[in-house]
A and B are shown apart, each in its own frame.
Chain A
Amino acid sequence: MRWEEEGMKQNAFIMGNKLMGSNPHAFSLIMPSIPITHTQTPYVTGTSVLGIKYKDGVLIAADTAGSYGSTTRYKSVERLRPIGQNTLVGATGEMSDFQTILQILDRLIITNAMFDDDNTLGPPDIHSYLNRVMYNQRNKLDPFWNTLMLGGVKNGVKYLGNVTMLGLHYVDDHVATGFGIHLAQPIFRNEWNEDMTLEQGTKLLEKCMLVLFYRDRSAINKMQIANITEDGVKISEPYALQTKWDYEAFSNPTVGNEGSW
């Protein structure tokens, strides 16, 4: 019975506390039939991140929304962050986990800088490190609930890839996370080419961000685009796209099919 389970869990908690203090997993250790659980659901989430390589580097775009379930709770969340001199990380999913990941990456960068040996970490290094972090958390059954996008240019080599919360990682010429996988990637496949200029790349990303704003309920019309070249990382100020709502079909949506709506 459900209430019996709850009662048993409460008793287990009280007995566990008496036996082993406030370790939340203590009772699970002495009575293995009660499983160890960690947070399984995200709370404040960011939606899609889109990334493409272009002639001089990498372009990555994301909106600035932090949703709390179905409500758009935070509208100025910076989901794109520079890491070191050559890399940018963008995150989909639980924003608090992203903040923790940023702290972990900051520690990585500082520790590397203190070696003082003229070696800096580039995008492939950070990609590999993030993969290890995500995979190890997943193996503890306590994942960082994020899909991370990573892009950058170092020594003339352009790099763009993803790491998921399961620790799956891959690189490609154009990548997306979240809804972008379903709505933006098909557009990339049709319209991306290797020698796009900055203007063409920006137009392509803006087109896909517009589609996402129209169709993804957690997206808002306030986005940032990051441009990573050999010279470094530049993240734009948040801006809005031009939207079109004056389609004829919207003026009288039920023409030809009048009903209660």
Chain B
Amino acid sequence: MSTIGTGYDLSVTTFSPDGRVFQIEYATKAVDNSGTVIGVRCKDGVVLGVEKLISSKMLLEGSNRRIHAINRHAGMALAGLAADGRQIVTRARTEAANYLSFYGEDVPIKELSNRVAHYSHLCTLYWWLRPFGSSSIIGGYDMDGPQLYTIDPSGVAYRYYGAAIGKGRQAAKTEIEKLRLAQMTCREGVMAVAKIIYGVHDEAKDKSFELEMSWVCDESNREHQRIPTDLLMEAKAMARDAQEDDLDAF
């Protein structure tokens, strides 16, 4: 499949002869080059995990957050251009706040994802705007239970049991499909996500990374929060051991 659209790729308001909008595809490439972001929907909640590639040893650990709370009950993990992602987060927060102030209840995750998708899509309709170079995974818990959605630069939102975006998404998707998510609790989900992210991290190409995780589940009172420190330490240790076991297997 040819991915160079000479002449038809200068503007997001131009179709190519075979019906593609190349600018959106290029935007998606920006997402595909960033660190892996995973979300899984377990039976009692949603777990989000990010492979945060560290560009410099001088970076403070825990800075450059890639997972953001949108309201009390939803969180968003971002892949792609960080600045574009920040704009999407701001918009999602505004939408959630407006919904709460207007309707008096927390925004349903489906509605929140629709609004974020609508906003992303907006930027693919005008030649003076460019598409967002970032995808987001929204995990939230509302009256219909825990839900997971992905929004990409073209402005489509899909609902998933398990989703992966970024560099290692192919390998991550394979691993996620092996999990029995409907039977897993979020505690088990945390271990699984950590293991997958450590697994898809390419030691050769990218030097080091920091694992950032969050969840919305019954244990967190249906509120979006970072994984408690002790559980995170446990997950990282288990994931590292699993990697060493795999290497020893050779």
Contact = CB atoms under 8 A, between A and B. Distances in A.
B101 A114 contact: no
Given A103-B101, A107-B97, A116 B65 contact: yes
Contacts of A103: 101
A113 interface: yes
Interface stretch (B68-76, B118-126, B202-210): B68-76
Interface of B: 65, 68-72, 93, 97, 101, 226
A107 B101 CA distance: 9
B61 to A, nearest CB: 14
A110 interface: yes
13 contacts: A103-B101, A107-B101, A110-B71, A110-B72, A110-B97, A113-B69, A113-B72, A114-B69, A114-B70, A114-B93, A116-B65, A116-B68, A116-B226
Contacts of B70: 114
Contacts of A113: 69, 72
A150 B42 CA distance: 40
A103 B97 CA distance: 11
Nearest to B226: A116
Contacts of B72: 110, 113
A261 B42 CA distance: 75
Across the A-B interface, give the 8 residue pairs with the lowest CB-CB distance, nearest first: A114-B69, A116-B69, A110-B72, A110-B71, A113-B69, A114-B93, A116-B226, A116-B65
Given A110-B71, A114-B71, A116-B68, 4 more contacts: A110-B97, A113-B72, A114-B93, A116-B226
Contacts of B101: 103, 107
Contacts of B97: 107, 110
B86 to A, nearest CB: 13
Nearest to A115: B69
Contacts of B65: 116
Contacts of A107: 97, 101
Nearest to B67: A116
Contacts of A116: 65, 68-69, 226
Contacts of A110: 71-72, 97
Nearest to B65: A116
Nearest to B71: A110
A73 to B, nearest CB: 22
Nearest to A103: B101
Interface string A102-146: 010001001001101000000000000000000000000000000
A113 B72 CA distance: 8
A114 B76 CA distance: 11
